[in-house]
Amino acid sequence: MAAKARVVPDTVAVVGHTPLADVLIGLVGVLGLRCRRVPDVEAELPDEVAALILPFSRGDDPTALDITEADVRVPLIIAAAQPTHATRCPVVNAPFKAVDLAAVLRVHTRLSIADNETIIRARTALNAFVGHSPALRRVIDRLPRVARSSASVLICGETGTGKELCARALHYLGQRAHGPFIPINCGALPPDVADNELFGHVPGAFTDARQTQSGMLEQADGGTIFLDEVDSLAPLVQVKLLRFLQEGEYRHLGSPDIRKADVRVVAATNMTDGKAERLRADLYYRLSTVTIEIPPLRERVDDIPELATHFLRRFAALERRPDCSLTPESVASLQRHRWPGNVRELEHVIRRAVILAEGDAIAPSDLELPGEALATEPESFGAAKRRVVDAFEKCFIERMLSQTSGNISQAADLAHKNRRAFWELIRKHQIDVDRFRA
């Protein structure tokens, strides 16, 4: 009889179907590892499982856990939504980051995980973009190509669209990923402070300047500096920045000595029509070697349900409300909203709703969307019907999959639909079936 083939453990198991479990499954995927969901900590684990992650929501006490690593055949890792250290098992504390989980898994398992932290950060950067709309895909597909270059980049987009997220992705996907990433919000700096923050100073440069201080350009040497709201810089600072872009040279305030720094400059502006009135024309042309335009959320309406679900999982886990869900009517309300604050506004709306909603089903009234910001354009009966039906279909299919632990055949039977039609609905709404599987 042939010997049984040895199974090499390459999978991480996560306990439960909570939003916190969903977040952890996403992090495992970022690390390039296989993942499976199990119903509880005592579930029988297949041979390919190398570690078991047990989530603890806010308010739960991991120190009261009776089960230890000795009670399961693989390392047991605690993922705690609030800081905890008094436990016999290894712990990953919130806010959960792929690099932190990777560090724990490297110590306690023999899983093959990228040793280079920048690889993990690059994967995380791309995974941070949520949505599949054509407008967003055009941005995401462009990032790896732009990241390979050392040319300066100008990111254009309304407030809250994710310009810093885009800049971080360019950094961690590029050749400078091993170096520092230094973000600066130029709009928050007074003119005299911006000059000093960027270029640094020597003793005597101004009152109270008693010692040499390096600027952000010097600190970003070998990496990337991100200048958000770059058009807010004073004209004199813009001239100095232009010289740095042209020559790679700058001076500390109060010093005649020329200094050099090897820094990639990624800048951003809130301009949406190709005009930045406060930005010098020569600086604009130097910065905009490559331009990336991030679409506003109102042009990515199809992404809103996925984004809302993404934020709901995160905040439901943090607020210990694992059964929170959005009703189809709430999803429709979110898609009607104009979102002047874009993705950042959506994030805040979902968090507020998770905190304030009295029941687990978040209704439109729980969203507290300001009436003056709702869309004023008339909507046809057909368009409104399609939007509501789509929202209902996705919520219904996800509910069926949740009740059957991701078994498509059983879910189709439960929904009284044939398997092929049910599968087409899964594809239509881009539902990740794996996150429902035990």
Residues 310 and 399 in one domain: yes
Instruction: Enter the tokens of residue 199.
Output: 């270029």
- Read off the pLDDT band of 266 (50, 70, 90): very high
**Burial readout 191-224 (b: 16 or more C-beta within 10 A, e: otherwise):** eeebbbbbbbbbeebeeebeeebebbbbebbebb
Matching residue, tokens 């898994």: 105
CATH number at residue 216: 3.40.50.300
Instruction: Indicate the residue among 295, 318, 342 that finishes a domain.
Output: 295
Rounded CA gap, 384 and 376, in Å? 14
404 Cβ contact list (under 8 Å, min separation 6): 410, 411, 414, 436
| Beta carbons of 367 and 401 less than 8 angstroms apart | no
Instruction: Kindly state the helix (H) or strand (E) to which residue 383 belongs, with its residue range.
Output: helix 381-403
- Residue 2 placed within a domain: no
Residues 217 and 312 in one domain: no
Provide the mean pLDDT of the chain.
83
- Residue 291 placed within a domain: yes
CATH number at residue 48: 3.40.50.2300
Dihedral-angle region of residue 120 (phi above 0 means left; psi in -120 to 50 means alpha; beta otherwise): alpha
Residues 93 and 177 in one domain: no
- Residue 1 placed within a domain: no
Residues 87 and 169 in one domain: no
| Beta carbons of 136 and 300 less than 8 angstroms apart | yes
Residues 98 and 200 in one domain: no
Rounded CA gap, 413 and 400, in Å? 9
| Beta carbons of 81 and 54 less than 8 angstroms apart | no
Rounded CA gap, 57 and 93, in Å? 11
- Residue 251 placed within a domain: yes
Instruction: Enter the tokens of residue 122.
Output: 């690059």
Instruction: Indicate the residue among 52, 85, 115 that finishes a domain.
Output: 115
Crossing angle between the packed helical segments 117-127 and 98-108, to the nearest 10 degrees: 140
Residues 159 and 89 in one domain: no
- Read off the pLDDT band of 286 (50, 70, 90): very high
Residues 133 and 150 in one domain: yes
Partnered with residue 201 across adjacent β-strands are 213, 253
Residues 154 and 193 in one domain: yes
Break the chain down into helix, strand, coil percent, rounded to 5: 45, 15, 40
Give how many domains the chain has, as a whole number. Answer: 3
The pTM of the full predicted model, rounded to 2 decimals, is 0.66
Residues 172 and 284 in one domain: yes
- Residue 418 placed within a domain: yes
Compute the average pLDDT of residues 213-219: 86
Residues 154 and 230 in one domain: yes
Compute the average pLDDT of residues 219-227: 93
Residue 254 has a pLDDT of 76
User: What range does the domain containing 66 cover?
Assistant: 11-115
70, pLDDT greater than 60: no
Residues 203 and 148 in one domain: yes
Longest dimension (CA), the chain: 86
Residue 420 has a pLDDT of 85
What would the pLDDT profile of 339-360 be if each residue is shown by its tens digit?
Answer: 999 999 999 999 999 999 988 8
| Beta carbons of 194 and 217 less than 8 angstroms apart | no
| Beta carbons of 144 and 303 less than 8 angstroms apart | no
What would the pLDDT profile of 73-129 be if each residue is shown by its tens digit?
Answer: 888 998 887 777 656 788 888 778 878 888 888 888 888 776 556 666 666 677 778
Interior angle at CA 94, CA 92 and CA 98, nearest 5: 65
Instruction: Indicate the residue among 48, 83, 115 that finishes a domain.
Output: 115
CATH number at residue 388: 1.10.8.60
| Range with the poorest average pLDDT among 91-100, 197-206, 341-350, 404-413 | 197-206
Rounded CA gap, 306 and 31, in Å? 22
Residues 100 and 146 in one domain: no
- Between 28 and 330, the more confident residue is 330
- Residue 30 placed within a domain: yes
Residue 373 has a pLDDT of 42
Dihedral-angle region of residue 232 (phi above 0 means left; psi in -120 to 50 means alpha; beta otherwise): alpha
- Residue 199 placed within a domain: yes
Residue 374 has a pLDDT of 44
- Residue 366 placed within a domain: yes
